[in-house]
Structure 1
Amino acid sequence: MARVVVVGAGLGGLAAAARLGALGHRVTVLEQADGVGGKLGWFERDGHAFDTGPSLVTLPQVLRDLFDATGGPLEDAVDLVRLDPAVAYRFADGTRLAVPGHLDDVPGALDGALGDGAGGQWRALLDRAEAMWAITEQPFLRSPLRGAATLARLARDPSDVGTVAPWQTLRGLGARHLRDPRLRVLLDRYATYSGSDPRRAPAVLATVPWVEQAFGSWYVRGGLHRLAEAVADRARERGADVRTGTPVRRVLSDGGRVSGVELAEGGEITADVVVSGADATALYAGLLPPNRRTRAVRRGLTRATPSLSGFVLLLALRGRTPGLAHHTVAFPADYDAEFDAVFGTGRHRGVPCPVPDPTVYVSAPDDPTTRPDDDSESWFVLVNAPRHDPDAGVDWDAPGLADRYAGRVLEVMAARGLDVRDRVRWCVARTPADLARETGAVGGSIYGTSSNGARAAFLRPGNAAPVRGLYLVGGSSHPGGGLPLVTLSAEIVAGLVGPA
């Protein structure tokens, strides 16, 4: 039985704690915040309540595997609801598209909204994405990252290499398969699921819409924060000691192997294994003293492009919106201008800035637990944003910036048919700087590093650190961000540590 310390009670850390506890290890979880969940946050005020992070579950089988491996079915712990429609889109030309919650229904909906032939184009793209998924799921997403060895597994069959097309971007794949420009915009959006730019992100990200539509989009009744609480409960049931309000100052090592952690409040906890759910950049730059063993990982992090962040409005609204979907996405006329502003490229080269005309994402669950009465709504509004970088980018703490930009986002919403300005009871703005402070994500980068560039996946830190006994979970490590991949990172680490 190993003594395990898990740094961070985000979903990755909690899932690792539950799995390692089920394997017979003695586990202690240390979380700096006063509650569990990390980016699976929750905000309540005056009866209005909001998920402040992820707002849907995809690939629920990964969560079912976690709960089955640690003591009981997922459905006994949370109430999953399949969304139909999965999302409602509003395009710049006025076209509206409600994407059904079941894959077989999607082509017909596309034909109806965009014209005959649109469904066939999308279906052909998803057929390619399904083939990509079959090739990459096991050797890449469910296995440790092992550099050239991982590439070798993917390259055993030349036809597989041609299917995955590691040299091709997501934008390039869309240009090849999709004639309708609105479909190309729809595909581009999925690059943002890994905090990336579709013009640089790999074509294999087409697996994201395939997974979403093949396995469904799901909501946890009562809010997705309940998922984090359920995993924390499962970890405790397996013997884990989950301590909140307990920040870690340093990961300790001796002779090239971890020996425990030093607490910010003083004192040390001895450990045979340390699992870090902290942002990988924060781990290698601060929690872990630099040494020659970690030099290559730190170099890779400096070469990678940080992921985008997000600017959020929590809107407490009077009244109800007829026909409002659970998720609504309203696109701008110039999507490329958004990515230029976020990443400081193109017309904004070297000078990232808040997006003047952003894509607007609205999550508005029809869930009584999120509103004070039936004549109210609680909207989580997200727009893509550059990370907090006062020295070389945007200083989101600059006086007045958050309020000014909140007003701009409300104006954009109004122009896209989502004018709620006369219904607002109150509004809370949350910037990338707030995200950085609350979760430890450097600069508020939601996914750590982006998928920009063909080598981006191999610049992402692996789950086994160069220091023996140290492992990484969460969205900033392999295999990446998003609830399914974060949960898989914990499965990979549990396999690396092994049973007691």
Structure 2
Amino acid sequence: MTGRVVVVGAGLAGLSAACHLARSGHEVVVLERGGCVGGLAAVRHDEGYTFDLGPTVLTMPDLIDDALRAAGTSLADELTLRQLDPAYRARFSDGSTLDVLADHAAMTDQIRAACGAHDAAAYEKFVVWLRELYELEMPRFIDRNFDRPWQIADPPGPAVKLLRMGGLRHLDPLIRSRFDDERLHRLFTFQALYAGVSPQQAMGIFAVITYMDSVRGVFFPEGGIHAVPRALARAAEAAGVQIRLRQEVTGLRRTPSGAVSGVVAGDEVVAADVVIATGDLPTMYDVLLPGVRRPLPLRRPRYSPSAVVWHLGTADPAPDDVRHHNIHFGHEWAHSFDELLDERVLMRDPSRLVSVPSVTDPSRARPGGATMYVLEPAPHLGGSLDWDRMREPMKERLTKFLATSGYPTDIVSEQLVTPGDWADQGLTAGTPFALAHTFFQSGPFRPTNVARDAPGLVFAGAGTTPGVGVPMVLVSGKLAAQRALAQLSEESR
């Protein structure tokens, strides 16, 4: 029997879910409140500059291919990707640089020349360890729906191997035990911040993020990151999915037994057998299940830090030594995370990411100019910072950093996004990175993607399983689709 699935939100999670459902034989309708697909992976055009407003670092394109193939097409048919080499240029406070190179042998040679023979040999072993860790984690602990936490040890063999590999040890000492050079410690652990925790707090399992970007590579799509949701939307619609824009969902309809029967969008009730709600998870509970007791991880949540992002279009180009992605490491390290995560103040000596996509695609800037994305980690809301008052001082702070670092500062177009702006977009605590990946907010302990009190309601996105980041959000859509199909199958019996 054919059923209907309504997907709330046409961001990466929602479009992934739609693609994985597209050829299931069920009707699929996507309702998006905005005027275009993409969610946080939006795009802005201004004064001859093009800005990706969401993610800028794209890894694991095979997960995009997975969703596209589910809808009957492929990555090769829908997107043109360019691997960035280097994936990053790391700049350190002593003036030295290290590149994360796409070629394994070249990366090893660079480490040998810059850090010594011991660290070069350690890198060879490190890559093997990372690959084994990823191959263990992805099918058994990431790309999998859990109904109960104990299922993480069923079967026990992979869980035991994960423990033996150091998956539950802290990431920082794991890396320090392998490499002597402090620069490599930072280069291979900063990714923990993507998961909302410091390298000192992060578990070893999050080294898979290092594997995704430092080993498997970082890519840039023709047309920018926003081209990814556009491709997913095209594939879904070609496979029969309806995508309806400017449809804000404001409520849930349920049967007398409590099961989902539809959603309210404007003046219309859109009937549904299953609803997949994407986006900020606490917001979805507020909108769809007001008054319902939230799952345990959402009752006393710990949120990831936020970020200040400054989108800039400059008249002058970036210097010749600038790459697509540039990480500027401050002199301070461990104490900076204390300031960010515990004291909830701006870091006195922050590390920052500067992405300059016009280095790869000059069409994203005016002729002779540059398009830049400057990110500084910042505390999520709840601290003492007043972001309305902090806007201009933050611009001055970042302008000084750019000038000191050799970037152009003759600004033609700009948009500053603060934690307050993220909150205005409906993101709880003013962070686009959702719940931090602490032990009890990761894996089977992360908020489940099914609503126990509302049969037929499924969740996808960074706030639910498996977590934060473009790869994980794409997987979350796939897992939500599996949940939806299982519920439809149950209803048809």
Give TM-score, length-normalised by structure 2: 0.92
Does residue 378 (structure 1) correspond to residue 364 (structure 2)? The answer is no
CA distance in 1, matches of 2:424, 2:189: 29
Aligned positions of 1:245-264 closer than 5 A = 245-254=246-255, 255-263=257-265
Hey, what does 2:58 align to over in structure 1? 57
Hey, what does 1:488 align to over in structure 2? 475
Hey, what does 2:491 align to over in structure 1? none
From 339, 342, 346, the equivalent of 1:341 is 339
Does residue 472 (structure 1) correspond to residue 459 (structure 2)? The answer is yes
Contact 2:149 2:445 in 1 (8 A): no
Hey, what does 1:311 align to over in structure 2? 308
Contact 1:197 1:452 in 2 (8 A): no
Hey, what does 2:435 align to over in structure 1? 449
**Does the C-alpha gap of structure 1 residues 127 and 383 become closer, same or farther in structure 2, counting only changes over 3 Å?**
same
Return the offset for 1:203: 0.9
Return the offset for 1:190: 0.8
From 416, 424, 441, the equivalent of 2:411 is 424
Return the offset for 1:229: 0.9
Contact 2:5 2:484 in 1 (8 A): no
Return the offset for 1:224: 0.7
Give TM-score, length-normalised by structure 1: 0.91
Hey, what does 1:437 align to over in structure 2? 424
**Does the C-alpha gap of structure 1 residues 462 and 103 become closer, same or farther in structure 2, counting only changes over 3 Å?**
farther
CA distance in 1, matches of 2:125, 2:259: 50
Return the offset for 1:368: 2.9
Contact 1:274 1:470 in 2 (8 A): yes
Return the offset for 1:189: 0.7
From 432, 444, 449, the equivalent of 1:463 is 449
Aligned positions of 1:39-438 closer than 5 A = 39-153=40-154, 155-156=156-157, 159-254=160-255, 255-263=257-265, 265-291=266-292, 294-295=293-294, 297=295, 299-320=296-317, 321-343=319-341, 345=342, 348=343, 352-365=344-357, 366-373=360-367, 375-389=368-382, 392-396=383-387, 398-399=388-389, 401-415=390-404, 417-421=405-409, 423-438=410-425
**Does the C-alpha gap of structure 1 residues 143 and 72 become closer, same or farther in structure 2, counting only changes over 3 Å?**
same
Identity level (%): 28
Contact 1:96 1:113 in 2 (8 A): no
Contact 1:155 1:161 in 2 (8 A): no
Matched position secondary structure for 2:54: coil
Contact 2:189 2:207 in 1 (8 A): no
* AA of the residue aligned to 1:308: P
Contact 1:329 1:360 in 2 (8 A): yes
CA deviations 1:102-154 (Å, max 9, x no partner) are 33432222222333332223333333222222221111111102333432136
* AA of the residue aligned to 1:13: G
CA distance in 2, matches of 1:121, 1:28: 50
* AA of the residue aligned to 2:114: A
**Does the C-alpha gap of structure 1 residues 36 and 338 become closer, same or farther in structure 2, counting only changes over 3 Å?**
farther
How much is the aligned-residue C-alpha RMSD, in angstroms? 2.1
**Does the C-alpha gap of structure 1 residues 353 and 259 become closer, same or farther in structure 2, counting only changes over 3 Å?**
same
**Does the C-alpha gap of structure 1 residues 179 and 256 become closer, same or farther in structure 2, counting only changes over 3 Å?**
farther
Return the offset for 1:251: 2.5
* AA of the residue aligned to 2:396: G
Matched position secondary structure for 1:177: coil
- Gaps (5+ residues) in structure 1? none
* AA of the residue aligned to 1:257: A
Paired residue total: 481
**Does the C-alpha gap of structure 1 residues 131 and 304 become closer, same or farther in structure 2, counting only changes over 3 Å?**
farther
**Does the C-alpha gap of structure 1 residues 180 and 66 become closer, same or farther in structure 2, counting only changes over 3 Å?**
same
* AA of the residue aligned to 2:260: V
CA distance in 1, matches of 2:270, 2:189: 46
Matched position secondary structure for 2:467: coil
Hey, what does 1:29 align to over in structure 2? 30
Matched position secondary structure for 1:5: strand
CA distance in 2, matches of 1:407, 1:60: 37
Matched position secondary structure for 1:251: strand
* AA of the residue aligned to 2:412: R
Contact 2:83 2:218 in 1 (8 A): yes
Higher alpha-carbon deviation: 223-232 or 465-474: 465-474
CA deviations 1:372-430 (Å, max 9, x no partner) are 21x111001111111233xx44342x23x112112112222333x23423x32243211
Return the offset for 1:30: 1.5
**Does the C-alpha gap of structure 1 residues 79 and 353 become closer, same or farther in structure 2, counting only changes over 3 Å?**
same
